[in-house]
Structures are given as structure tokens and as C-alpha cells.
């Protein structure tokens, strides 16, 4: 009788362990990015990778900058140009979305965290303000003492010192290109959940005319300034700790 | 062969159900006819209770993308919960003015403020206020920092602030600023400093 109880308990524990293992494997598979979009993907290890996230997309339009211009389209246009500019500097860059697809904040963070980028940049655009606002997560910075697991809502805390260092160096470089730039803290997801050096930028027109955000010249100026700023600071960050691409 | 009394009982029950349905329908009709017309949603003015006192409002200015401190005199009670409500209503009135520096919809409203120990203030705003927000990281930050700095400048015992919309949790204010957790006012003060030193 006692033996059968122990056997039942053992098989129960086994089942629970098997279910846990399966769910971990499934979660890892789901977290893997579905469509890496980069110029350099196969074979060789990519030591440095910039992951660019055009915010919003699909059913999430973001702000309607005017009745015809949703924020999601402007963000994607800037992101594509920034990827091109970084590639011109020989720096591998990928987009988190390269088409009009809906991604939740959690899906974005999961993809970023599985990709282990050297730097994560999320792009927003707005009608308010002027030039570029460089944004870090509004979280308390903490030392890396969490061991294997990090609280999801504040996962960026451990990387906040690196993120702030990069943002502090990027901002004056942008200004040297004649663009107004300011640093800001913001409660913004998925920035809070990202386990890599990260910042967001919010791009506003310089002349108050929202159509400037859609102009090729302005997009080129912003992406050139951003690419130069990022290339100049990326050497301060450690190479990717993650898997071989 | 079904006994006769079963038929009678079934018929009686059916008639009873029919009568109850008609009665409920009548009740509903009467309720609809007697109910007052829906009230026009209007911004609620601060209550004129308590002595006039000096208070500090942190007001968002969209054009400058900055916060400015303004001093006003409003009736304030000694009860901290009511005080918080009066301050926030004064701030919303400021934003509802004709030439507002940070416009909000006229029907924007603060339902309630709950002060929960230790130092947590839970604000319940209406959906109109949130839905009429300008969407954007900077725009939404101005709103949040303005609300929280106004509260903490006048009620220093508030240490954290949680925002609800119509009594429910909401993911973001207008697509950007995260509302899923409670804000630490010390962290928001850091942000507010960045918004006041341009």
C-alpha cells in the first residue's frame, strides 16, 4: 500500500517535471525571432548587433500624427533608413519588424532578449517637441545580483548603467548634426523588459510641420546622425554574450 | 397515457411563466420611461469647502515640452484624500481652460482618489481624460509628471501613485506611458527635473 503511494507520488512528480520541461522548450521556441532581417545573417559569429524596433505596427497605429500619417509607418521608415546607415558603416543591424505586423510589448521584449543584441533601439515619432528625444527606462538602476532570473517588469535595471552611458554619449553627437536633442527618462515598454543596453528615441519635426517626419531629407538626416552617434559609442559596449548567429 | 393532472400542471406552469415574462417586460418598459435623461458629461469644479490656501500646481506646457510651477489659491480641506481630489480637479480645470497649455477634453473627470497605507495614492480617472490625451512618449510623460508632481508637492506623504481608468487597470495612458504598475514618486521627480530644466 505504502509502496504504491510512493510510486504514485513519483510518477506525479515525473509528469510535472515533463510538463515543465516541455513548456520551457515551447517558450524558448516561441521567443525565437521569426524573421531576422539583416544584411549579414548566416554562418559567421556577429560580435556586435544593433536591433532596431519600429514601435507599434499592425492594428496598433500609435499616434495619428495627422489624419493620413500613422506613427507606425513613420517609425518603420526611420528604422529602415537607420538599418541602412548602420550597414553602410559595416555594423550589422536587424529590424524587429520589417512590415506592418502587430507585436505586443511582451513579444518584442522576448525577441530582443533571445537575440542578445549589443544595443536595442526602439523608434517612436511625435508631433510634440523638436528634434530627437533619447529615452532611457524610468527604473532604479541595480547591480547584477539576480542570478539566473530577473523580474520581467524591471529586467532593464541591470543594464541601465550601460544604457544611460550610451544615451549620454549619443545625445551630443546628434546635436553636432544640427538636430535638437534631449535626454529623458520614461516609463516605456518594452524598454523596461529588455535585457540589453537599450534606449528609445522619439523623433519630432524641427519646424513644427508634421509632414517633415515623412520627408526623405529629414529621415536621411536623422538616420545619418543616429548612425554616426551609435557607431561612435558602440565600442564601449561588450560583444554579444549570446549564441553564434 | 399521461395522467390528466400532469397536463393541468404543465399548462398552469406555462401560463405562470408567460405571466411573469409579461410582468418583467412591463417593469422594464416602465423603468425606461421613468429614468431621467442621461446627464451631460461636464468637468467637475473643485468643491468650495475649506479655507482658501496656497497650493502648487505643476502645469505641462506642450509647446515648450516642459513643466512649469504655478501657485494658486483654492479651498482645501485638512482631509488628505479630499485634498488630493481638490488639487487634481484644480489641475484638470487648468487644463480645461480656453487657452490651455495642455488641452484635455471638457468631459475629463477624476472619479476618486484613494489613499492607501503606506503612502500609496490610487487615482481613478475617467476614460474621456485618457482617450483625449495626445499620444506620444513626451506628451504622456508631461501628463503623468504633472499629476504626480502636483500631488507630491502638496501632500509629501504620498510615495507611490497608481492610475486606474474607470476603476480598471489599463496598459498604457495613450499607447506609450506604462500604467501597469504603481509609480515611485522619487523616480518621477527625476523625470520631472528633466522636464523643467530645458
Kindly report, residue by residue over B11-25, the tens digit of the pLDDT.
999 999 999 999 999
Give the best residue of B134, B161, B178 to mutate against chain A (max A CB count within 10 A): B178
Domain boundaries along the sequence of chain A: 1-30, 47-234
A127 and B CB contact within 8 Å: yes
Inter-chain CB proximity A184 and B138 less than 8 Å: yes
Closest chain A residue to B194, measured at CA: A184
A124 and B CB contact within 8 Å: yes
Please tell me the distance from the alpha carbon of residue A37 to that of residue A94, in angstroms, as a whole number: 5
Inter-chain CB proximity B176 and A188 less than 8 Å: yes
Task: Give the residues across from B66 on adjacent strands.
Answer: B61
Please tell me the distance from the alpha carbon of residue A202 to that of residue A72, in angstroms, as a whole number: 12
The answer, as to whether pTM is greater than 0.95, is no
Closest chain B residue to A192, measured at CA: B178
Query: What's the pLDDT at B102?
Result: 94
Q: Please state, in angstroms and as integers, the Cα–Cα distance from residue A161 to each residue in A34, A165, A230, B120, following that order.
A: 30, 6, 16, 28
CA angle B107, B113, B114 (to 5 degrees): 155
Beta carbons of A80 and A25 less than 8 angstroms apart: no
Query: What's the pLDDT at B73?
Result: 93
Inter-chain CB proximity B134 and A202 less than 8 Å: no
Query: What's the pLDDT at A140?
Result: 76
CA B5, B10, B11, B13 torsion-angle sign: positive
Query: What's the pLDDT at A8?
Result: 53
Which contiguous run of DSSP H or E holds residue A54?
A: strand A50-54
A81 and B CB contact within 8 Å: no
Instruction: Give residue-wise pLDDT tens across range B129-178.
Output: 999 899 999 999 999 999 999 999 999 999 999 999 999 999 999 999 99
* Gap from B175 CA to chain A (nearest CA, Å): 6
Instruction: Kindly tell me if the per-residue pLDDT of B39 is higher than 70.
Output: no
Q: What are phi and psi of A13, to 5 degrees?
A: -60, -40
- Report residue B3 as a C-alpha cell: 395522467
Query: What's the pLDDT at A235?
Result: 83
Q: Please state, in angstroms and as integers, the Cα–Cα distance from residue B30 to each residue in B35, B94, B168, following that order.
A: 8, 42, 32
Given the DSSP bridges, would you call strands B120-125 and B160-165 parallel, antiparallel or unpaired?
parallel
CA B20, B26, B30, B31 torsion-angle sign: positive
Any residues with CB less than 8 A from the CB of A244 and at least 6 apart, and which?
Answer: A45
A141 and B CB contact within 8 Å: no
Inter-chain CB proximity A185 and B187 less than 8 Å: yes
DSSP alpha helix (H) spans, chain A: 2-31, 71-88, 105-115, 160-176, 216-234
Beta carbons of A115 and A73 less than 8 angstroms apart: no
Inter-chain CB proximity B190 and A185 less than 8 Å: yes
- Report residue B15 as a C-alpha cell: 401560463
Nearest to A62 among B135, B177, B184 (CB): B135
Task: Give the residues across from B112 on adjacent strands.
Answer: B124
Each residue's pLDDT, cut to its tens digit, for chain A (245 residues) gives 444 554 554 555 454 555 544 444 444 444 444 444 444 444 455 689 999 999 999 999 999 999 999 999 999 999 999 999 999 999 999 999 999 999 999 999 999 999 999 999 999 999 998 999 999 999 876 655 556 677 888 899 989 999 999 999 999 999 999 999 999 999 999 999 999 999 999 999 998 899 999 999 999 999 999 999 999 898 888 877 654 33
Query: What's the pLDDT at A45?
Result: 57
Mean pLDDT of chain B, nearest integer: 88
Nearest to B194 among A139, A184, A202 (CB): A184
Mean pLDDT of B179-194: 91
**Count of CB contacts below 8 A, A vs B?**
79
* Gap from B55 CA to chain A (nearest CA, Å): 27
Q: Which CATH class is domain A47-234?
A: alpha beta
Instruction: Give residue-wise pLDDT tens across range B62-111.
Output: 998 999 999 999 998 888 999 999 999 999 999 999 899 999 998 999 99
Within 8 A of B191 by CB-CB distance, chain A residues are 138, 184-186
Amino acid at each position: 500500500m505504502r509502496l504504491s503511494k510512493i510510486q504514485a507520488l513519483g510518477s506525479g512528480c515525473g509528469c510535472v517535471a515533463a510538463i515543465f520541461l516541455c513548456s520551457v522548450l515551447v517558450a524558448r521556441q516561441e521567443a525565437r525571432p521569426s524573421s531576422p532581417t539583416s544584411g549579414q545573417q548566416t554562418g559567421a559569429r556577429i560580435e556586435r548587433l544593433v536591433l532596431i524596433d519600429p514601435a507599434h505596427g499592425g492594428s496598433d497605429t500609435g499616434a495619428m500624427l495627422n489624419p493620413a500619417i500613422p506613427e507606425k509607418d513613420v517609425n518603420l521608415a526611420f528604422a529602415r533608413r537607420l538599418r541602412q546607415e548602420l550597414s553602410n558603416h559595416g555594423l550589422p543591424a536587424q529590424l524587429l519588424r520589417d512590415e506592418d505586423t502587430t507585436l505586443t510589448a511582451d513579444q518584442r521584449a522576448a525577441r530582443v532578449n533571445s537575440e542578445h543584441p549589443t544595443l536595442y533601439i526602439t523608434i517612436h515619432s511625435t508631433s510634440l517637441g523638436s528634434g530627437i528625444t533619447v529615452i532611457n527606462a524610468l527604473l532604479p538602476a541595480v547591480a547584477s545580483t539576480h542570478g539566473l532570473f530577473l523580474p520581467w517588469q524591471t529586467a532593464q535595471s541591470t543594464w541601465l548603467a550601460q544604457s544611460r552611458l550610451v544615451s549620454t554619449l549619443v545625445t551630443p553627437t546628434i546635436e553636432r548634426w544640427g538636430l535638437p536633442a534631449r535626454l529623458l527618462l520614461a516609463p516605456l515598454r518594452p524598454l523596461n523588459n529588455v535585457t540589453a543596453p537599450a534606449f528609445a528615441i522619439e523623433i519630432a519635426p524641427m519646424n513644427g510641420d508634421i509632414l517633415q517626419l515623412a520627408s526623405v531629407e529629414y529621415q536621411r538626416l536623422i538616420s545619418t546622425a543616429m548612425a554616426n552617434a551609435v557607431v561612435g559609442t558602440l565600442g564601449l559596449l561588450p560583444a554579444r554574450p549570446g549564441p553564434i548567429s | 397515457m399521461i395522467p390528466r393532472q400532469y397536463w393541468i400542471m404543465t399548462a398552469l406552469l406555462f401560463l405562470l411563466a408567460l405571466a411573469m415574462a409579461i410582468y418583467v417586460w412591463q417593469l422594464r418598459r416602465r423603468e425606461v420611461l421613468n429614468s431621467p435623461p442621461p446627464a451631460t458629461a461636464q468637468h467637475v469644479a473643485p468643491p468650495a469647502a475649506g479655507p482658501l490656501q496656497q497650493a502648487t500646481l505643476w502645469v505641462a506646457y506642450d509647446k515648450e515640452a516642459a513643466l512649469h510651477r504655478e501657485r494658486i489659491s483654492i479651498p482645501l480641506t485638512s482631509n488628505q484624500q479630499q485634498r488630493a481630489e481638490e488639487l487634481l480637479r484644480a489641475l484638470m480645470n487648468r487644463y480645461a481652460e480656453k487657452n490651455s497649455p495642455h488641452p484635455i477634453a471638457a468631459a475629463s473627470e477624476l472619479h476618486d482618489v484613494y489613499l492607501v497605507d503606506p503612502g500609496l495614492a490610487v487615482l481613478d480617472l475617467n476614460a474621456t481624460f485618457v482617450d483625449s490625451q495626445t499620444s506620444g512618449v513626451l506628451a504622456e510623460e508631461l501628463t503623468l509628471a504633472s499629476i504626480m508632481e502636483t500631488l507630491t508637492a502638496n501632500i509629501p506623504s504620498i510615495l507611490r501613485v497608481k492610475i486606474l481608468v474607470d476603476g480598471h487597470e489599463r496598459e498604457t495612458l495613450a499607447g506609450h506611458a506604462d500604467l501597469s504598475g504603481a509609480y515611485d514618486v522619487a523616480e518621477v521627480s527625476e523625470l520631472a527635473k528633466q522636464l523643467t530644466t530645458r
